[in-house]
Structure 1
Amino acid sequence: MPTDAPAPGTGAPPAATDVIHDIGYRHYDGPRLGRGYARRSLFTQSLRAAYGLGRSAKSKVPPALLFGIMALVALIVVAVAIGTNMDELPLEYTDYAIFLQPVIFLFIAAQAPVAVSRDLRFRTVPLYFSRPIERVDYVAAKYGAMASALFILTATPLVVLYIGALLGKFDFTDQTKGFAQALVSVALLSLLFAGIGLAIAALTPRRGFGVAAVIAAFTVPFGAVSALQGIAWEQDNLDAIGWFALFSPIGLVDNVQSTFLGATPATAAPEPVDPSTAAGTAALLLALAVTAGCYLLLLRRYRKAGL
């Protein structure tokens, strides 16, 4: 029966039952902030998440604990140097990250999956790409945030050492030079480690697998290289020690800072052995190549993840 037909026995059409409700929705007519704002927002959110900010209390404990260890050891070194009337710090600035590398390994292993695995697991990556943000923006924001988080972790204790050295009235020129060299070293370390950690963590949406894989990627090569360097020392093949370092991420950083920044090599040999200029140059080129390669691998990974 047509809806406008008269009601039976009345000769009048029925009353309309369809109603349009005004729910107060208005289209957004403000400024369009675009890709740059989205990229910066994602960077900020990812950097905060690396230290548990904006997350649950349980998520804040591991990064806070690791950050506290890095800073506390620096305070102890300064206290020992000043309390025993030393004329310099007992630990060189460039050696600090090398000696505290287990803490750095744990940090990148715990936080790299947080940066990328959750988005893959809950399939939120396509939601990012439905906004004015491209894959290159997503990867750049995540990479920059993780590298920045690592730089904060490794540079903060250097600042503590430097301030403590100045308060202890150590030589200003020597301390400033060592501090600047160490900042360059940890900047390279942050870029390299962030790339390796994110590239591995992005392979699986499961955080546990990502944590285990990242730890293995840093600790297994370090152990193997240390063993090979010890054997080379016993066989008096000192030149091979620097070349073996190329097979470990921390060894790359050690070679670079030993060759170009005047740092004392932190090898597994009983005594420091300076790498050859060729080994140091190869370490620098390989570190840059690995960093760029990890970035490209992430771009390739998210071409598929966004489908």
Structure 2
Amino acid sequence: MAPETSTQIHNIGYRSYDGARLGRAYARRSLFSQSLRSAYGLGRSAKSKVLPMLLFGVMVLPAAIVVAVAVANPLATDLPMKYTAYALFLQMVIALYLAAQAPQAVSLDLRFKTVPLYFSRPIERVDYVLAKFAAMTTALFLLTATPLVVLYIGALLAKFDFADQTKGFAQGLVSVLLLSVLLAGIGLVMAALTPRRGFGVAAVIALMVIPYGAVSTVRAIAHQTGSTDVVPWLGLFSPITLIDGVQTAFLGADSAFPGGTGPGAGMGMVYLLAVIAVIAGCYGVLMARYRKAGL
């Protein structure tokens, strides 16, 4: 005789969620804030905070030294360095920061295949790309704009001309904002092309260092050989020289071009359009990359 069986249903207390559903905008803001915090190691281990905070300190330290020298010199009437020149002077520090943090922002999601989990929530591909792009841009802007704030405060303490310093400070902010958007796009694209963080780091450093070195060398040779007409065009092939051309043409910056003669307004428009095209291209590549990664 078969043993008697019985079926029981246990109520273990599951209830449906009846609270507010915050939707895509909240998810996008949360992803942005989490990515921005992560770019400086906040919410991560103590070891993860060391490099970004160290590079942030290296960015700010020269500004503090410049301010100290300017305040201590009673004969000084202006800062020894223009606001627009500061980020270009410390471009290697910016490159190291970008190389370390851009892969952290996107490579780990690709490596551990967590991107589809994001898209299973009320967040779409465009939300993910915009949040990561905005977070990396903001992180770079904080890195590059904070020293300018130190310079500006120091200039005011030294009682330099208020109008001149405010104008220079505003021009510097515009320059580093444009630089931040451009480098954020480039860094995220290079990092998103591989799930291997090490490869992403190497790719970002190579793209920042090699084109700039090559362009600077060829421009110097062209200037020395009298081929001055080609010099402005060569600056279109490096992210740093692109920003240098734009700020020379429109923001009153001193040019780093050979001979100190940068592009005029006409050529400056070419530089500006090239910057916009690169940013738009980076956004398009990221959208295409995450169309495939989200499957």
Q: TM-score range by the shorter chain?
A: over 0.9
- Given candidates 270, 276, 301, the residue that maps to 2:289 is 301
How far the C-alpha of 1:24 sits from its partner, in A, is 2.6
Q: Distance in 1 between matches of 2:163 and 2:236?
A: 32
- Given candidates 245, 248, 259, the residue that maps to 1:255 is 245
Q: Distance in 2 between matches of 1:23 and 1:219?
A: 60
- Given candidates 157, 160, 165, the residue that maps to 1:170 is 160
Q: Which amino acid aligns with 1:294?
A: C
How far the C-alpha of 1:248 sits from its partner, in A, is 0.5
- Given candidates 186, 193, 204, the residue that maps to 1:196 is 186
3-state DSSP class of the match of 1:115?
helix
How far the C-alpha of 1:15 sits from its partner, in A, is 6.9
Q: Distance in 2 between matches of 1:293 and 1:52?
A: 29
Provide runs of 4+ in structure 1 moved above 4 Å: none
Q: How does 1:85-124 map to 2 (within 5 A)?
A: 85=74, 86-124=76-114
- Given candidates 255, 269, 278, the residue that maps to 1:265 is 255
What is the match of residue 11 of structure 1?
A: none
Q: Distance in 2 between matches of 1:76 and 1:23?
A: 65
- Asked whether 1:41 is paired with 2:30, we answer yes
3-state DSSP class of the match of 1:176?
helix
Q: Which amino acid aligns with 1:170?
A: F
| Larger-gyration structure (1/2) | 1
Q: Distance in 1 between matches of 2:220 and 2:73?
A: 33
How far the C-alpha of 1:81 sits from its partner, in A, is 1.3
Cα deviation, 1:126-183, whole Å, max 9, x if unaligned, reads: 0000001000000000000000100111111000000000001000000000000011
Change in Cα spacing, 1:208 to 1:15, as seen in structure 2 (3 Å) is: closer
- Given candidates 54, 66, 70, the residue that maps to 1:65 is 54
3-state DSSP class of the match of 2:212?
helix
What is the match of residue 276 of structure 2?
A: 288
Contact 1:239 1:276 in 2 (8 A): no
Change in Cα spacing, 1:239 to 1:278, as seen in structure 2 (3 Å) is: farther
- TM-score by length of structure 1 reads 0.93
- TM-score by length of structure 2 reads 0.96
| Richer in helix (by share) | 2
Contact 2:256 2:262 in 1 (8 A): no
Q: Specify every segment of 5 or more residues in structure 2 that has no aligned partner in the other structure, as ranges.
A: none
Aligned length: 294
How far the C-alpha of 1:232 sits from its partner, in A, is 1.9
How far the C-alpha of 1:256 sits from its partner, in A, is 0.3
3-state DSSP class of the match of 2:260?
coil
Q: Which amino acid aligns with 1:280?
A: G
How far the C-alpha of 1:247 sits from its partner, in A, is 0.6
Q: How does 1:5-84 map to 2 (within 5 A)?
A: 14=4, 16=6, 18-84=7-73
Cα deviation, 1:171-227, whole Å, max 9, x if unaligned, reads: 000000000001111111011000000011000000000000010011000000110
Q: Which amino acid aligns with 1:155?
A: A
Q: Distance in 2 between matches of 1:15 and 1:306?
A: 47
How far the C-alpha of 1:239 sits from its partner, in A, is 3.6
